[in-house]
Structure 1
């Protein structure tokens, strides 16, 4: 059986990567919009309603407008923007989130693709909240370092033009403490307080790692680094795209530095716990264009359509 798929916003970074994933598949017919009609609302509406699955790779306002164009009840929308990630009636497109999440994605006709930083943060902390190790009222912080591709075409062009010395060093941003991923980071971990979150863009194309530092005293009394790692392993047992690495990963410690780019060109997430007698670091690593964006969207499509989850990934 062939499924009709339309990518609205096919020229953006996420849309281009989704098309790359789909290009090698024989079970998908990709509907194309003529270049001169990309802003033609009627033509976009026609293609959106002709599709079994439509990916929205658009700014938030444009995604809301596109969602309103849908009149075909059979069209499944997968929105890669921030617009619908905490909106009732939209399934969160992270199959590994919790038991039953795949059923929600399979049944939904509206799926919100997670943000890259949010995916890593949620995957790192949701198991600890669910296991009762980390209380919902906990005050946590997180740092994310990411490649410049996450900034879209303008930032990619800025970095790849070269010559600007300030781009050579890591650049913290979102210093107003109101990053757009915060609502979903709270909603899908169960945390009641927004984390103090500082993302950093580096001079490399892609790859992302979110680090959450915790004092063991913040966790349930008596919690050890071993128990934190065990909670992650239990939560993700059998998940093909998530690897829970050994406690105090020997290879990382031997090298002395963490490789942010080691999941690039995969749909994989690697989870690490480094700990002492009083503190831990929980780190989640992924490809910000793969599991952090386009790969996650294709994975959600596969789940929704009842296909092998890793098809094309």
Structure 2
């Protein structure tokens, strides 16, 4: 039996990529809305309630409205917006988060897809907080550099039109220190203090890397680099989509430059620990359109349906 899937917001960057993931699968039937009816509430409600899985690839307010249209208790919503990421009634769509997370995703009919920056940050930090190596009260800082596709259609068009020299340089943003991913970065790591977080858009299409600098004096007494690295390895042992790279990864150090695009076209996250003396640098990279968005949504769908987690990915 095929599972009926509907993407509300099928023309956006995330929606289009979800359709690409689903295109080669014979276990799903993709429901599509006629272009002229994309804003018709009655038709959207019909398709949402006809679906076994409905992806909400919409702005926050529209995602909340769409969720309210669902009356079928069998419809599982996977929301790609930020609207429900810290809502206790919604499960967080990161299967690798902690023990029992997959069981929660299988049982839940409401799944909030993580943000791209947040996914990288959480996957790097959560095991260290859980292991008591990073204090929950620690005020950490993080920088994330990402490709311009993360800004959606308007930003993609701006970059690909060319002619603006400002776009050729990295562009830090969210300088008001209130980036929309901060609440989930706290809620799903267990940190009690909001990180000082600076995202940066770079002049490349996709790829993302978060870096988190730490001083040994800030950490638990036993938290040297080998223990931090070992905690990551233990947490992600056997995980299909998370790869913990060797401590002070030789290939990266030999090249001298970090490849932000090294996970592009995969659903993988690579985690790194670099250390020298009393200083440690954590890094996490992913494809902001893959594990950072559409790939993560499809992975959560697979977990919920009980099919192979990497199906279509």
SS in 2 for 1:177: coil
**C-alpha distance in 2 between matches for 1:255 and 1:246:** 15
SS in 2 for 1:129: helix
Matches within 5 A, 1:120-135: 120-135=120-135
Which residue does 2:44 correspond to in 1? 44
Deviations 1:16-45 (A, max 9, x none): 000000000000000000000000000000
How many pairs were matched up?
313
TM-score (norm 1): 1.00
Matches within 5 A, 1:1-313: 1-313=1-313
SS in 2 for 1:260: coil
SS in 2 for 1:197: strand
In the TM superposition, what is the alpha-carbon distance from 1:88 to its structure 2 partner? 1.5
**C-alpha distance in 1 between matches for 2:245 and 2:276:** 17
**C-alpha distance in 1 between matches for 2:84 and 2:6:** 19
Deviations 1:41-72 (A, max 9, x none): 00000000000000000000000000000000
**C-alpha distance in 2 between matches for 1:53 and 1:290:** 19
Query: Which consecutive unaligned segments of at least 5 residues does structure 1 have?
Result: none
SS in 1 for 2:71: coil
Deviations 1:61-97 (A, max 9, x none): 0000000000000000000000000011100000000
TM-score (norm 2): 1.00
**C-alpha distance in 2 between matches for 1:168 and 1:38:** 35
In the TM superposition, what is the alpha-carbon distance from 1:224 to its structure 2 partner? 1.1
Is the CA contact (8 Å cut-off) linking 2:226 and 2:247 kept in structure 1? yes
**C-alpha distance in 1 between matches for 2:305 and 2:118:** 24
SS in 2 for 1:61: helix
Is the CA contact (8 Å cut-off) linking 2:271 and 2:284 kept in structure 1? yes
**C-alpha distance in 2 between matches for 1:67 and 1:31:** 17
In the TM superposition, what is the alpha-carbon distance from 1:277 to its structure 2 partner? 1.5
Is the CA contact (8 Å cut-off) linking 2:9 and 2:15 kept in structure 1? yes
Is the CA contact (8 Å cut-off) linking 2:2 and 2:26 kept in structure 1? yes
Is the CA contact (8 Å cut-off) linking 2:133 and 2:222 kept in structure 1? no
Deviations 1:116-141 (A, max 9, x none): 00000000000000000001101100
Moved segments of 4+, more than 4 Å: none
SS in 2 for 1:178: coil
In the TM superposition, what is the alpha-carbon distance from 1:222 to its structure 2 partner? 3.2
